[in-house]
Amino acid sequence: MNAKATKTQPSPVIDKAAFKAAVIKHLHCTLGTDENKANNHAWWKATCAAIQEQVLEGLRKTQKSHYLNDTRAVHYFSAEFLMGRLLSNNLQNFGLFDVANGALKELGVEISDILEEEPDMALGNGGLGRLAACFIDSLATMELPAIGYGIHYEHGLFRQEIKSGAQIERPDSWRHYGNPWEICRPESIQEVSLYGYVETKYGDNGRVLKEWHPGSIVKGVPWDIPIVGYEGKTVNVLRLWQSEASGYFNWDVFNAGGYVDAQRENVSAETISKVLYPNDETEAGKELRLIQQYFFCSCSLKDIIRRYKRAHGDDWSRFADQVVIQLNDTHPAISIPELMRILVDRAELGWDEAWGICTKVFAYTNHTLLPEALEKWPARMIEKILPRHLEIIYEINHRFMAEVDKKWPGDNAMKAKLSIIEEGNEKMVRMGHLSVIGSFAVNGVAEMHSRLVKSSLFPEFDELYPGKLTNVTNGITPRRWLKACNPGLSKLIDKKIGEDWPLDLDKLQGLAKFASNKTFQKQFMKVKLENKELLAEEIRKSLDIEVDVNAIFDVQIKRLHEYKRQHLALLNIMALYRRILENPDYDMHPRVFVFGAKAAPGYKLAKDIIYAINKVADKINNDPRVNNKIKVAFLPNYRVSLAEKMIPAADVSEQISTAGKEASGTGNMKLALNGAVTIGTLDGANVEIAEEVGDDNIFIFGLTVEEVNELKANGYNPHDYYYKDPEIKAVLDWLETDYFTPGKPGALVSIKQSLLDNGDPYMVLADFRAYSDAQIAVDTAYRDKERWAEMAIINTAKMGKFTSDRSIRDYVERVWKLSPCKIES
């Protein structure tokens, strides 16, 4: 399994002449065009088709080896996979990037132009979906048998446009002109049942048998995306399910009176995989969303069982030895009652035997503590869509309550607290509880988050099941997030410490001894400057804003959410602006604040914050009195491919969430890996980043979790800060005027209201002064060029821990118990 392997760059499997011939062949034979007619899009597709030949060869060999070795495999169930683009990645992993570059050059084509033709595969919202993408990259790289299971959304996350400062959502159509990577597998179509009713029957031996008569059945069509490991040995699969009508409609059910109403509300089959829900950190509670979840879980379980039966027939005794399923948050938690249904109703196993298997198969990753993000489904909704599953959930709960009673005899309050069912006006099913009870391992995603999962989210579960709750700190793939996105820095690192760091990121430690070396500092900062020039060009093209590349590039990129506190950054920008207006000689190094963020379409305040950032930006960017000391650039449509351009150019990484709210963060890791210095709170993985780089190489500020809780307990009043700190008062009052929105007074007032009238739930005002002071410390540090270069280098050098290979190694050792499988050629 050890990714900490061997040698250098992957050695190219074909040479330039062969690659060139393959591209031309596909231009002619796959696309029906030729060199004279082809536009960049056609060249992109032909290049994809050329590399896909290698990909499919690797895929075939991998599948054969896994089959022959009857390997245990991990099945990563995730409603989201935020893959981004694949061409550059696949070229890199086969060691063919330079070969392709040379071949295309000879054909008169710039590789950078054709890479831009590829639409992002944005089948995810943010960190959770991107984590899944990094993990499947590491799994393939480490030669581990693994398959990703998810949904083949027709529309991924919306495309964001900014009109007069405000976010507009436009549909994303990533497959509009065909996706060259995916392979449809009609031979593996599955059927999924929905609605209907449950019939109770009695078997010969008096055994109660349950039969679900579904009201409708939809088809799940699998599309496979090959996932190429670094060095191209293992090629695993991401299998995404697309819904289709099956033509089946149960008229018996329809005619059975009481079911008519339910049937009328049936979703049409095709809508199930139509669109990704654009919410992060909030649960919409919509019926279609539950159907999406069940749809992909049901298809995936059937697929796994088909494969298992091919090797082991009806002998279920080895199922848990062969299959482990990782639930990426609770979105796939309905898999637990679904597997129970298959084992009990279909395979006719006894409950205890079935439950024994289930609880050896599932493991669950928690990604949030925010109460509004913890999934709960109305029992009535589950009953309508999945009537048998609700019965099974009740049975699981009934037996679990008996366990609770054993541990805490007669304690009804404890039962109510731990029950899968939340009683109230409307009975709700708590998917987090179901996941903890039905899994053999539960993990948080950073040390601090996992500690809080144990101490505040699930303390009683931790007592009931000692050792079940654990930590696996998140990670990122250094292949995409350094080697591919930052070729300048990668080449410099190759020269300094060798080329094997992409497989063994701890090797970056070797850079630390050059951190104070003047020559290396100059080389390192020259690469940074070149990356800043590229981003400056992007900013010019996209926003028509000129930025000074000698300014500090200060980057905040993540979904827009109050807890992530983009508005804290905004208040500081306004304060700086005010200081300059009050004192034209205000001493600061020029700074460019760059933002990228999408807001959930229904999240009003988040959209207001985007609007405010853009309005403040307009004013500051065009005010000659600012004398170019501050520029603010909000880049629209933040996505993986834009992140790849922003991250290498960052000097400063903004990680300023309220302590205790950001489970981990992964952008923090990507930015630090590319030599950005963090300004951040002691939250999520920032804590571990600080441990790695040392206090001198990070700017930590603000309340700790304990202080946040104490302040809340003692009655936090944001007005205290408003009245005590004149600068806070001035900037908040400024929001109420029409200074930033001429002719529209009050257009930005919702932000002030949330911070004062609504009690400032994320303690922005409490942390403002500390943040603003930390920003001054950043400014001072940056002016010492050598000291700053040293800090930046140390950040890159100390990121070894955060490779997703290490996360996967932790999962393999602590949870999955997997072995790598060598691929025979």
Q: Which residues are catalytic?
A: 367, 558-559, 564, 666, 670
Q: In 10 A of CB 31, how many CB atoms? A: 17
Binding track, positions 670-689, relative to ligand F55; x by CB under 6 A:
--------------x-----
793: CB partners within 8 A, 6+ apart: 511, 512, 514, 515, 520, 521, 524, 675
Among 58, 84, 127, 150, which residue sits at the site for ligand F55 (rule: CB under 6 A)?
Answer: 127
Length of the chain: 825
617 vs 167: CA distance, rounded Å: 15
**What is the DSSP code (8-state) at residue 822?**
P
Residue 791 near residue 498, CB atoms below 8 Å: no
Binding-site size, ligand F55 (CB under 6 A): 20
Residues 365-386 as b/e (b if ≥16 CB within 10 A, e otherwise) read bbbbbeeebbbbbebebbbbbb
Gap between the Cα atoms of 285 and 374, Å rounded: 11
CB of residue 81 vs ligand F55: minimum separation in angstroms?
12
The rounded distance, in Å, linking the Cα atoms of 375 and 331 is 8
> What are the helix and strand counts (H, E) for the chain?
33, 25
Specify the DSSP class assigned to residue 424: S
Q: How far is the CB of 65 from ligand F55 (least distance, A)?
A: 31
Alpha carbons within 13 A on the beta-carbon side of 141: 32
Q: List the one residue from 91, 111, 131, 240 that touches ligand F55 (CB under 6 A).
A: 131
User: Which residue, 388 or 598, has its beta carbon nearer to ligand F55?
Assistant: 598
CB of 109 to ligand F55, least distance (A): 37
| Residues whose CB is less than 8 angstroms from the CB of residue 698 and which lie 6 or more positions away in sequence, other chains included | 677, 678, 679, 680, 686, 689, 690, 795
Q: Which of 663, 693, 808, 823 binds ligand F55 (CB under 6 A)?
A: 663
Residue in 62, 65, 88, 125 binding ligand F55, rule: CB under 6 A: 125
Our finding on whether 662 is near ligand F55 (CB under 6 A) is yes
DSSP string, 310-376: HHHTT-GGGHHHHEEEEEESSTTTTHHHHHHHIIIIIS---HHHHHHHHHHHEEEE-----GGGS-E
**Smallest distance from ligand F55 to CB 661, Å:** 8
Alpha carbon distances (Å) from 411 to 370, 405, 416: 27, 7, 9
State both tokens at 774.
């930390």
Residue placing its CB nearer to ligand F55 in the complex, 224 or 281: 281
- Check residue 651 for interaction with ligand F55 (CB under 6 A): no
235 sits near ligand F55 (criterion: CB under 6 A): no
- Site for ligand F55 (CB under 6 A): which residue of 224, 280, 303, 688? 280
- Smallest distance from the beta carbon of 307 to ligand F55, in angstroms? 28
Nearer of residues 90 and 279 to ligand F55, judged by Cβ: 279
| 89-108 residues near ligand F55, rule: CB under 6 A | none
Q: Which of residues 357 and 685 has its CB atom nearest to ligand F55 in the complex?
A: 685
Residue 734, number of CB atoms within 10 A of its CB:
18
Considering the complex, what minimum distance in angstroms separates the CB of residue 381 from ligand F55? Answer: 15
> Applying CB under 6 A, which of residues 666, 686, 775, 803 lies at the interface with ligand F55?
666
User: Residue 190: beta bridge partners?
Assistant: 220
CB of 684 to ligand F55, least distance (A): 5
Q: Which residue is nearest to ligand F55 (CB)?
A: 127
Residue 155 DSSP code: B
Position 281 contacts ligand F55 (CB under 6 A) = yes
Among positions 10, 126, 387, 475, the unique one binding ligand F55 when judged by CB under 6 A? 126
Q: Which residue has the tokens 């084992």?
A: 343
Q: Which is nearer to ligand F55, 393 or 663 (CB)?
A: 663
Contact flag: residue 500 with ligand F55 (CB under 6 A): no
- Per CB under 6 A, which region of 156-164, 597-605, 621-629, 659-667 contacts ligand F55? 659-667
Tokens 């190219």, located at residue: 12
Residue keyed to tokens 């995409």: 480
Q: Which of 198, 320, 349, 373 binds ligand F55 (CB under 6 A)?
A: 373
Q: Which amino acid is at 12?
A: P
Task: Considering only residues 689 through 748, tell me which ones interact with ligand F55, judged by CB under 6 A.
Answer: none
Give me the least distance between CB of 570 and ligand F55, in Å please.
20
Q: Does 283 participate in binding ligand F55 (rule CB under 6 A)?
A: yes
One residue of 148, 150, 665, 675 binding ligand F55 per CB under 6 A = 665
> Residue 445, interface with ligand F55 (CB under 6 A)?
yes
Phi, psi of 323 (to 5 degrees): -125, 125
128 interacts with ligand F55 by CB under 6 A: yes
367 binds ligand F55 (CB under 6 A): yes
Task: Identify which range of 155-163, 278-286, 319-327, 750-758 contacts ligand F55 by CB under 6 A.
Answer: 278-286
| Number of Cβ within a 10 Å radius of residue 308 | 17
The Cα–Cα gap between 782 and 650 comes to 13
At 546, list the tokens.
């000129």
303: contact with ligand F55 by CB under 6 A: no
Provide the 3-class DSSP secondary structure of residue 481: helix
Amino acid at position 622, single letter: N
**Per CB under 6 A, which region of 107-115, 120-128, 498-506, 695-703 contacts ligand F55?**
120-128
Which 457-486 residues touch ligand F55, going by CB under 6 A? 474
Considering beta carbons, is residue 111 or 569 the nearer one to ligand F55? 569
User: Does 664 engage in binding with ligand F55 (CB under 6 A)?
Assistant: yes
User: Is residue 490 a contact partner of residue 778, using CB atoms and an 8 Å limit?
Assistant: no
Which one, 472 or 493, has the nearer CB to ligand F55?
472
78 binding ligand F55? (CB under 6 A): no
Piece of the chain touching ligand F55 by CB under 6 A; list 28-36, 307-315, 517-525, 661-669: 661-669
Residue 177 one-letter amino acid: Y
Q: Which residues bind ligand F55 (CB under 6 A)?
A: 125-128, 131, 279-281, 283, 367-368, 373, 445, 474, 662-666, 684
